[in-house]
Amino acid sequence: MVMAGQQKIGLDAGGTLLKAAYFENGRLHLKKYSYENFDTFLQWLQFTAPRARYSLTGGRTAWIQERLKGASFRGVDEFRAVTEGFRYLLDPAHPLLASGFILANVGTGTSIHYMTREESVRMAGSGVGGGTLMGLASILAGEKDFNEICRLAEAGDRSRVDLQVKDIYEPSEPPIPGHFTASNFGKAMQGDMKKEDILAALAGMITETVALLSTHNAGVKGVKDIMYIGNTLNGSRLFKEFLKQTTETFGFSYHELENGEFSGAIGALLAD
């Protein structure tokens, strides 16, 4: 259906994906595109909202503006957009808002926020995230497709690549759980591994880094709950599994939010 008038669309131009949010007949609609499919995105715009005005956030905002010349734009701070969009998606009565929690947004990189009902504070960030997965998967395994990387990783055994605590202490009983990682990729020189194992170890390294950064900041703020969002999680069961395992191992609670990866686009849409 073509929307009458000047439709407002929120766009989150991330490092890897372009996400869009808009209202039609009072209902929120969400879409996402890879930059390789930008022409498809343009066709959708021409059909759906040819006179749209755009509220933009994300690192590739200038790239989008260059390709939508003549359109009406308004920029929105990325971290504000993420937290405000997240609040829109989260039930206002959610108990975590009363107690406080850490929000970890795992996109191309990772940003960490402390949130309560009254405030949102950016705590930290890391260059480790979905972009790390794509880059290192290409270098180490020759794989460039996200879905295929995830499929292969789920079939792998990271213990063939990572040096675990039990490997160091064997045959003695280790003082901490033996499956803990002593060194990511610490067995790689042994050569007894497949592509699937390498990708599983890569997923493990990234998720451990994100979870440890998140749990550290949760400890700093004295809270026990961590909410993870981001397209990297949305596309990978293994990422969720590893994040949950590491988070809970250190005594914190793992949470996720449906459509959380669209928080930036929604926040941009809602900006005045």
Q: DSSP letter for 58, please.
A: S
User: In the chain, what is the greatest distance between 2 CA atoms, to the nearest angstrom?
Assistant: 72
User: Which of 136, 134, 84, 75 lies closest to 107 in space, CA to CA?
Assistant: 134
CA 166/CA 249 separation, integer angstroms: 16
Per-position DSSP letters for 204-230, written without gaps between them: HHHHHHHHHHHHHHHHHHT--EEEEES
CA angle, corner 60, sides to 110 and 9, nearest 5? Answer: 100
Residue with tokens 């605590």: 165
Q: Could you confirm whether 78 is annotated as catalytic?
A: yes
| Of 24, 36, 66, 78, catalytic | 78
Query: E strand or H helix at 153, and its extent?
Result: helix 146-154
Residue with tokens 């497949």: 194
To 10 degrees, what angle do helices 146-154 and 237-249 make? 60
| Residue 36, phi then psi, degrees to nearest 5 | -65, -25
CA angle, corner 231, sides to 229 and 235, nearest 5? Answer: 115
Half-sphere exposure of 222 (CA within 13 A, CB side): 1
Query: E strand or H helix at 72, and its extent?
Result: strand 72-75
Q: Which residues are catalytic?
A: 78
